[in-house]
């Protein structure tokens, strides 16, 4: 089925989730063509949950022996995180083809926004590890709002915040319904804790070291005593901080595609910007939906 979506065009329901026609092609291509390997690490988010940040952290952590943090030409300093950890599906690698990942050395780090049930069969049937990151729906929504406004700047027909909010609540967002996406991965992380790690943006912001240690334990690449002594964790966090990444030349003046400048991926990087936009009714409405959707699970969003 198709519905009017918030970016001024129609969005379509595909396998139970909403997405744009362009993205559907990308999702189908990755479902048909992507061959997972057991050592792959696939990082999953809903859009605007902190994908760029965690891509940076994952890349830096996993490759820290290959690319020392102090390297002047560390890849993260010269390439956008979306180039280092590419999406399986995306808008669109030319010709609807999954990019050739064969030059990636093991462990391959890849990313996706695809809901669990629609992941390529080869991912579901392999030992691939999945790292999921979610963010509270209020901040995710506000971040989406800004992102789509930027995308639509040249068209000037952006929806009002009320209209967009209405779409979001009805599940009509890219890879929505938002709650179903989060809940499906949450359930997987409970059932298969060795396969799926569930992280929250807010916890990453508040206690990054604790979360990084969870990540290294899950990926079996824990810090050595020597690394701990050299405060490598702090160095990684500093390197991947909003402040550092958003000021790099590659992320301020360069573009991934012909249209979008990389600076679109960096706006405020904070918890709680929703307070500058939400009415009490909006918060209550999202709370109500969350209660209904998450009923029976112990999953709770953090808004601090
Ligand atoms: P805001 O719009 O709230 O600032 P995604 O990468 O999934 O598209 O998510 C983008 C959001 O992550 C944006 O949120 C962006 O500013 C934030 N972000 C990007 N880099 C970050 C970093 N290094 N640390 C924290 N947040 C970051």
Question: What pLDDT, on the 0 to 100 scale, is given for residue 156?
Answer: 56
Nearest ligand 1 atom, CA 204: 25
Give every CB contact of residue 291 below 8 A, 6+ residues apart in sequence: none
Cis before 149 (ω within 30): no
For the chain, which residues make up each domain, given as ranges? Answer: 2-293
pLDDT digits (tens, 9 = 90+) for 132-170: 999 999 999 999 998 887 776 555 556 789 989 999 999
Which one of 81, 143, 262 would you pick to mutate in the ligand 1 pocket, going by the greatest count of ligand atoms within 8 A of its CB?
143
- Spatial separation of the C-alpha atoms in residues 137 and 282, rounded to whole Å: 11
For residue 115 and ligand 1, the question of a CB distance below 6 A is answered with no
Convert 34-45 into a string of H (helix), E (strand) and C (coil): CCCCCCCEEEEE
- C-beta neighbour count of 18 within 10 angstroms: 23
> Where does the pLDDT of residue 210 fall: very low under 50, low under 70, confident under 90, or very high at 90 and above?
very high
What is the mean pLDDT of the segment spanning 187-204?
98
pTM score > 0.90 for this model? yes
Residue 52 banded pLDDT, cuts 50, 70, 90: very high
What average pLDDT does the segment 2-27 reach?
81
Lowest mean pLDDT among 75-84, 245-254, 258-267, 270-279: 258-267
* pLDDT, mean over the chain: 90
Write down the CATH number for the domain with range 2-293. Answer: 3.40.50.300
User: Does 146 contact ligand 1 (Cβ within 6 A)?
Assistant: yes
Atom of ligand 1 nearest to the CA of 268: 4
pLDDT higher than 50, residue 92: no
């Amino acid at each position: 089925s198709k519905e009017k979506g918030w970016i001024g065009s129609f969005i379509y329901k595909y396998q139970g989730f909403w997405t744009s026609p362009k993205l559907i092609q990308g999702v189908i291509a990755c479902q048909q063509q992507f061959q997972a390997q057991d050592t792959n690490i696939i990082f999953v988010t809903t859009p605007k949950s902190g994908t760029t940040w965690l891509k940076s952290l994952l890349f830096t952590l996993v490759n820290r022996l290959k690319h020392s943090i102090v390297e002047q030409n560390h890849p993260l300093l010269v390439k956008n995180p979306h180039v280092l950890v590419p999406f399986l599906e995306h808008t669109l690698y030319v010709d609807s083809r999954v990019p050739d990942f064969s030059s990636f050395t093991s462990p391959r780090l890849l990313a996706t926004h695809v809901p669990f049930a629609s992941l390529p069969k080869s991912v579901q049937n392999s030992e691939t590890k999945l790292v999921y990151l979610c963010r509270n729906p209020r901040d995710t929504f506000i971040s989406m709002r800004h992102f789509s406004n930027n995308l639509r700047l040249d068209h000037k027909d952006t929806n009002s915040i009320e209209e967009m909010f209405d779409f979001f609540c009805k599940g009509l967002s890219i890879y929505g319904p938002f709650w179903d996406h989060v809940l499906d991965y949450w359930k997987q992380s409970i059932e298969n804790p060795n396969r799926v790690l569930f992280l929250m943006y807010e916890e990453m912001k508040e206690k990054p070291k604790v979360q990084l240690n969870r990540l290294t334990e899950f990926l079996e690449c824990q810090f050595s005593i020597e690394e701990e002594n050299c405060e490598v964790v702090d160095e990684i966090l500093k390197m991947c901080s909003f402040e550092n990444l958003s000021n790099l030349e590659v992320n301020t003046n360069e573009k991934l595609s012909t249209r979008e400048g990389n600076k679109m991926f960096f706006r405020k990087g904070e918890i709680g910007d929703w307070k500058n936009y939400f009415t009490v009714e909006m918060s209550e409405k999202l709370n109500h939906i969350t209660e209904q959707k998450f009923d029976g699970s112990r999953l709770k969003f953090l808004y601090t």
